[in-house]
Copies of this chain bind each other. A is one copy, B any other.
Amino acid sequence: MREVFQAELKSIGDELIQMSKLVAEAMERAYASFEAADTDIAQEVIAADQKIDYLQTSLDERAIDILALQGPVASDLRMIVGSLRMSASLERMGDLARHIAQLTRLRFPNNVAPQRLAETFKEMASLDVQIAQKVTELLESRDLNIASEIIGLNNRVDELHASVFKVVADPDWNESAPATADSTLTSRYLERYADHGVSVARKVTYLVTGEWDPEIGVRGQL
């Protein structure tokens, strides 16, 4: 029974890793579609999001089954409940990558982003992909140095997000209002994606150390 239980726990961990790989790929491809105004790639990202949603459902069902059949306690219980939270964050990261692809499709044949923000969004998307890749590494290794790296990358995303509003407020900014609105949404999506990566990193940290990060107070505990 104990062996079955450990195998079930491992399956949950594997599914989280698989989800994190898929959301990294989703953002990488979403940004490729966004940069090149390529609706074929955008369409692929949108379609592939269903796979991420399916994995979340599968993981959540497995977690419920374990709770019902095995009655786990202590750290195993927290791991399972934490996995439900992590799967929700990863699923949301997939949605945000999809939103970038949907904006690309909406504005085709034009680019979504004005040239002036192209480098900023390129860096934000690259940081997002790195964050998701590091989430995969963190889930695989439980090496908390990686969690710190993720938080460092997210800080840079936040700076870039703030810089977008400075650029938009600059008197030289002479883009159309729809381009301003699209840039605002793009920046918000890229910033939220990174936030969810941080949520997963904090959850893993809590599960490994049993302590929550004081920066976020008690909220990170589950």
Contact = CB atoms under 8 A, between A and B. Distances in A.
Nearest to A68: B73
A178 B168 contact: yes
Interface residues of A, number: 37
Interface stretch (A56-64, A124-132, A201-209): A56-64
B57 A81 contact: no
A175 interface: yes
B168 A173 contact: no
A43 interface: no
Given A56-B219, A64-B77, A165 B178 contact: yes
A156 interface: no
Contacts of A173: 177
A177 B169 contact: yes
Nearest to A88: B88
Q: Which of A60, A77, A180, A217 has the most CB of B within 10 A?
A: A180
A81 B78 contact: no
20 contacts: A53-B217, A53-B218, A56-B219, A57-B218, A57-B221, A64-B77, A67-B67, A71-B71, A85-B88, A88-B88, A165-B181, A168-B178, A168-B180, A168-B181, A169-B177, A173-B177, A180-B184, A181-B183, A181-B184, A184-B185
Interface of A: 53-54, 56-57, 60-61, 63-64, 67-68, 71, 73-74, 77-78, 81, 84-85, 88, 165, 168-169, 173, 175, 177-178, 180-181, 183-185, 188, 217-219, 221-222
